[in-house]
Chain A
Amino acid sequence: MLKDITLGQFFPMDSVVHRMDARYKIVITLIFLVMLFWGQHPTALIAGFLFVAVATVCSKIPPKMLIKSIRPIVPILIITGLLNLFFFGGGTVYWEWKFLKLTQQGIQASVFMVVRICLLIAGTSLLTYTTSPIVLTDAIESLLSPLKKLKLPVHELAMMMTIALRFIPTLIEETDKIMSAQKARGADLESGGLMQRAKALVPVLIPLIVSAFRRAEELALAMECRCYHGGEGRTRLRVLKSGLRDYIALAFTLLLLAAVIVINAVVY
């Protein structure tokens, strides 16, 4: 069912990582991504694995959850793995059939790519598991705030993101309901060709859009009544505050990155 989809996969818990400043978490995640894709040497992957392992332990997120986050992309992993396996690389050829070649570098590239993607998903999932969407939005707003000087509506964008996150589950549930209601009137949403199906969606989409507008209007009124007047002079319940743990985490990640860069430079 549609409403079983979970969005904003925040996993509320009390851990060092949960308590970290979200801005640092974003920056650290970005450094982690750079590190993962630095060079062709396995150190990047070892360092990446080390990073994910340490972060997982510190965040108290059950490793099962990370495996769950990888599950939806298994088809992508298989395809990337196969493409790398057969079409890339050189070196010793182990097996050949028509245009397909199994080479030493191909195997290496394939394994690297799959591991890399797994680590990438695990690492970024840790960010969303340990940071509530709204705090994440705050942090992005704060990180982007220098852009306000360029007249970029940073606060407004962040508010839009928050509202979108808030209303996605509501609208999903509503879609579910409208679909059932139109099916009860004999709407056929499941058969026919592409065009026919697109046309059959009209009775679902129109009420959904109308309802979204109605909600937007009511929400705007409710926000106004609660003294909303843009980002000016606004304070926050959760103040983003950095502390020792953030500096240590950043230092640790930078150290890993440095190690990866140095080893890469030495080896090649």
Chain B
Amino acid sequence: MEPLIIIDNVRFSYPTGENPDERTEVLKGISLTFERGELVAVLGHNGSGKSTLAKTLNAVLLPTSGTVTVAGMDTKDEEKLLDIRQHIGMVFQNPDNQIVATIVEEDVAFGLENLGVPSDEMRVRVDQALNAVGMYEYRTHAPHQLSGGQKQRVAIAGIIAMRPDCIVLDEPTAMLDPQGRREVMRTIKLLNRDYGITVILITHEMDEAAQCDRVVVIDHGEVRMDAPPEKVFSHVREMRELGLDVPQATELCDLLRQAGYDLPDDILHADQCIDALAALFSQKGIISNAGSGSN
């Protein structure tokens, strides 16, 4: 089957200063494809071009050159604009600035109202969307009565009510506390797994990228790495040079490997690290029963 999103040699620049020839190039020829059902992180520091890339996916920005094709539609095709935006939903960083209505359920309905969905069907879809993000019991609340994480889940519900193929989330957790971050990450992983929605998560947080199936690292408007998280984070030094963190487990194993110890290079999570270290210790005979649970 054809990939859901095909980004073909996309460049994006905008004029700086008075001289029309003077332009800042944000995206320098990016080619990527996203398949249906993927859970992908686009990782990069602020100013790497990752948000700009996100905005080209639903025709908020059009590439200066190159093409973006979404479910077979070229994003330059103005007639398909609403279609494209229905297929590719977008959630932004600031939870306050994307909620339009004064009541949760009416906000979730906003996109459907714009699409002209009949009201009985709308009711069903709004309730389904609210249930999917676990906000159904808050449906009659006012947005300002909710926590940041809850607002963000309402924003996500507003998108999935439109039954998109894909959600693009642009740093959805940057303004949230740890509790809110966990809520949002749990929600998007669930939507990906149980509803098969393609998720593209734009982030600079390595622990969020580590929870995805695939990590695309962007730097200075170019794709630097595109691989599963274990592979990407094993390049500890390169990631540091790109201004990005790696999980502490990965870093610890990397330091020990540099000292000559034999440890796997695909460790991301604490449990994996504990298992690997325990195995190493038992192999070295420092502790006899430490290896249990590994292998």
Residues of A within 8 A of B (CB): 8, 12, 132-134, 162-163, 165-166, 169-170, 173, 214-215, 218-219, 221-229, 233-239
Contacts and interface: CB of A to CB of B under 8 A. Distances in A.
Given A169-B142, A237-B122, A226 B159 contact: yes
Interface string B65-97: 000000000000000001001100110101011
Given A173-B144, A227-B114, A239-B119, A134 B103 contact: yes
B116 A218 contact: no
A21 B100 CA distance: 23
Contact of B102 (A8, A173, A229, A238): A8
Contacts of A221: 60, 92
Nearest to B141: A12
13 contacts: A166-B99, A166-B102, A170-B96, A215-B94, A218-B94, A219-B98, A222-B98, A224-B85, A225-B85, A226-B85, A226-B159, A227-B162, A239-B119
B106 interface: yes
A235 B113 contact: yes
Contacts of B62: none
* SS of B interface (majority): helix
Contacts, number: 98
A219 B119 contact: no
A233 B116 contact: yes
B85 A227 contact: yes
Interface in B150-198: 155, 158-159, 162
Contacts of B158: 226
Interface majority SS (helix, strand, loop, mixed), chain A: helix
Given A218-B92, A226-B85, A227-B85, A234 B143 contact: no
A239 B155 CA distance: 23
Contacts of A166: 99-102, 143
A236 B99 CA distance: 17
A237 B106 contact: yes
A229 B82 contact: yes
Contacts of B114: 226-229, 234
Contacts of A233: 116
Given A226-B85, A234-B113, A238-B106, A170 B119 contact: no
Nearest to A172: B144
A219 B60 contact: no
Contact of B86 (A8, A133, A134, A227): A227
Nearest to A222: B98
Query: Which of A163, A166, A169, A215 has the most chain B CB atoms closer than 10 A to its own CB?
Result: A166
A70 B39 CA distance: 55
Contacts of A12: 140
Contact of A226 (B102, B110, B118, B142): B110
B101 A238 contact: no
A169 B116 CA distance: 29
Contacts of A218: 92, 94, 97-98
Contacts of B109: 236-237
Contacts of B96: 170, 215
B48 interface: no
B266 interface: no
B102 A133 contact: yes
Nearest to B105: A237
Contacts of A214: 97
Contacts of B126: 237
A227 B119 contact: no
A134 B107 CA distance: 10
Given A215-B97, A219-B97, A225-B90, A235 B102 contact: no
Contacts of A224: 60, 85
B231 interface: no
Contacts of B100: 162-163, 166, 219, 222-223, 226
Given A170-B96, A225-B90, A162 B112 contact: no
Contacts of A236: 109, 113, 119
A165 B158 CA distance: 19
B45 interface: no
Nearest to A8: B102
A219 B123 CA distance: 24
B58 interface: yes
B111 interface: yes
